[in-house]
Chain A
């Protein structure tokens, strides 16, 4: 009698996590933009990511969700080698963009970052004018040959980011004077201006109010026509609204990947279910 009671005691979250070996769901897809296999990331001696394999399809929005410190931002920052800026960070495994290894010796990380743009958690416009903020990328990459072309790129980028009408009369005022939501859209415009193929977003709306958040989400909807987007988010509703596929990370392991609808309505893994039903996290 007593014995059976002990065996029936439910496993703790930590035990489930420790037992987890293989990602559940469909981490791979046919027409992959990014394809990563067996990625491990170390900060010094501490391992932050364990054996993550995941594909990101062309013109797809993939949401990375999971509790704080689960490694989703770390994984995201591997995709444009932003982790290079941290001395003690070490990445192993295979990461391919269009079938090319992005960590190979001959890869220029600067060129990679021009192809894979990034939007950060806290809006970080440069302390320059709105125009100069957007023109920054085109100027350093020499994307335009004259002022008229540059003007056009700036206008187009701001329009795509849904900001042009709000700022067209004050293009030469500092970007830091905008509201938080406008600043974030300015950062998105700045990223678009470089004409990247992929946009990585690291909790782009977590510092914004609900209305600004709604605008950003609307923008993501429009952007996915032209770009591949990988977005890290804390808000499950946001993941459900904007993404086609969702990947659930837990303490550095990729637990489950699947169709967003399926992950939120019928999760295959116990941990995913516990997380999306708010049992922890």
Chain B
């Protein structure tokens, strides 16, 4: 029986236990309900607790078996291989993979020794599967009976149920946190491997980025320089251009929507503005590459400037348009949330609408506005598609927005696409870049939090 079927069975047990417990308690409940003094827990809670008994212990055991399943199989086959004195001749993991993937309907092409091992593997797997089924199902049956006996009218069912809910919620939060920690740790360890090959100072302060490693010693143009500075400067340059476009536009449209526009116009314009964030970035990308970049180049040429056909400016401007809704939507919400008493207080003193907005509303809404800008900034730093298409791949170290630059994310993409081995410095560099990017956004967040705490004007 496979895991899915077992879980289905457990659910049936749980449902069954809920049903009969509910019926049984309900009989008592109906009699007692008549008496006013006798407040009692609703029957459904007894049903819930009873069904928990059939479900949770069996599920936990199932989970444990699923976790130890794989290592058990592996050690068993390894032991078998050693006992039979079979020569593997390759990496153990790969060998195991081969064994597992042998298809029995196509025996004649397969090495007979492997086939033998495969047979052993299958036998053992069936054994585990059977054991799993028997253990879990019998536990569930036992617990169903035990739970049914255990839950009586005197059980504080509501208290138990609340506990279970609390634990479920805690689990949900834990999964989210553990995932984050897991990702960070995995990136961290891969980066450490990278820094074993390339010195960390060369990576952080090197000004040349050219990740092609030489395969033969006489190969030309593959210097394998891993200086990340040009990438970070490129990222910052494009993000700065994007924020330069999106913050004023977003903030001003937010102010217009929340303070000046009629509610009818607002209910129409706000969703339309938010659609900007819903357009796929690849669409923005070719818009930037095919429309905006040539336009900027021609404009530059007509003014006597030399503009690269792929420029940071084009990518930045288009990215800025894309992240307007991140700024405007959040800013609009927080400005609208400032109490009306603040507006009336200011207007009542003879301030104009714009004075009220600048001197009272924006300071009061500052934390939310900074939050929106920050969200936009992280989006700009992490954006890849537009940059790939509109800003190019050349790792130039420049702060001139008219030249082609490249960003961290774009380089991560180029490092990892195509056929790659996952232990060369070139691919490991992607993890180091990811880590740096993560740390950068983290620092940005901390700074912004600090700024907000210092300058916010708290209203109540």
B344 touches A126 (CB 8 A): no
Residues of B contacting A243 in the complex (Cβ-Cβ under 8 angstroms): none
Looking at the assembled complex, report how far the CB atom of A196 sits from the nearest CB atom of chain B, in whole angstroms.
8
Taken together as a complex, chains A and B put the C-alpha atoms of A136 and B343 apart, in Å, by: 13
Residue A140 at the chain B interface, CB threshold 8 Å:
yes
Residue A190 at the chain B interface, CB threshold 8 Å:
yes
Residue B300 at the chain A interface, CB threshold 8 Å:
no
Taken together as a complex, chains A and B put the C-alpha atoms of A123 and B323 apart, in Å, by: 38
Looking at the assembled complex, report how far the CB atom of B360 sits from the nearest CB atom of chain A, in whole angstroms.
6
Assuming the A-B contacts A127-B364, A140-B349, are A120 and B344 also in contact, with contact meaning beta carbons closer than 8 angstroms in the complex?
yes
Checking A120, A137, A174 against B350 with a beta-carbon cut-off of 8 angstroms, the contacting residue is A137
Within 8 A of A (CB), among B202-250: none
Assuming the A-B contacts A124-B341, A126-B345, are A87 and B350 also in contact, with contact meaning beta carbons closer than 8 angstroms in the complex?
no
Taken together as a complex, chains A and B put the C-alpha atoms of A258 and B343 apart, in Å, by: 35
Residue B274 at the chain A interface, CB threshold 8 Å:
no
Taken together as a complex, chains A and B put the C-alpha atoms of A128 and B344 apart, in Å, by: 16
Checking B351, B457, B458 against A140 with a beta-carbon cut-off of 8 angstroms, the contacting residue is B351
Looking at the assembled complex, report how far the CB atom of A31 sits from the nearest CB atom of chain B, in whole angstroms.
25
Residues of A contacting B420 in the complex (Cβ-Cβ under 8 angstroms): none
Residues of A contacting B351 in the complex (Cβ-Cβ under 8 angstroms): 110, 136-137, 140
Q: How large is the interface on A (under 10, 10 to 19, 20 to 34, 35 or more residues)?
A: 20 to 34
Looking at the assembled complex, report how far the CB atom of A120 sits from the nearest CB atom of chain B, in whole angstroms.
6
B457 touches A82 (CB 8 A): no
Taken together as a complex, chains A and B put the C-alpha atoms of A97 and B457 apart, in Å, by: 36
Residue A80 at the chain B interface, CB threshold 8 Å:
yes
B contacts with A: majority SS = helix
Checking A87, A117, A176 against B348 with a beta-carbon cut-off of 8 angstroms, the contacting residue is A117
A82 touches B459 (CB 8 A): no
A124 touches B344 (CB 8 A): yes
B349 touches A127 (CB 8 A): no
CB-nearest residue of chain A to B352: A110
Residue B347 at the chain A interface, CB threshold 8 Å:
yes
Residues of A contacting B343 in the complex (Cβ-Cβ under 8 angstroms): 85
Q: List B residues at the A interface (Cβ < 8 Å).
A: 262, 339, 341-352, 355, 359-360, 363-364, 457-460
Q: List A residues at the B interface (Cβ < 8 Å).
A: 80, 82, 85, 87, 110-115, 117-118, 120, 122, 124-128, 136-137, 140-141, 174, 176, 187, 190-191, 194
Please name 13 further chain A to chain B contacts, defined as beta carbons within 8 Å, in addition to the given A141-B350, A176-B459, A194-B350, sorted by A numbering. A82-B344, A85-B343, A113-B350, A117-B349, A117-B350, A118-B348, A126-B364, A137-B351, A140-B349, A140-B352, A140-B355, A190-B345, A190-B349
Q: Which 7 A-B pairs have the closest CB atoms?
A: A114-B350, A127-B457, A124-B341, A118-B348, A113-B350, A124-B345, A127-B459
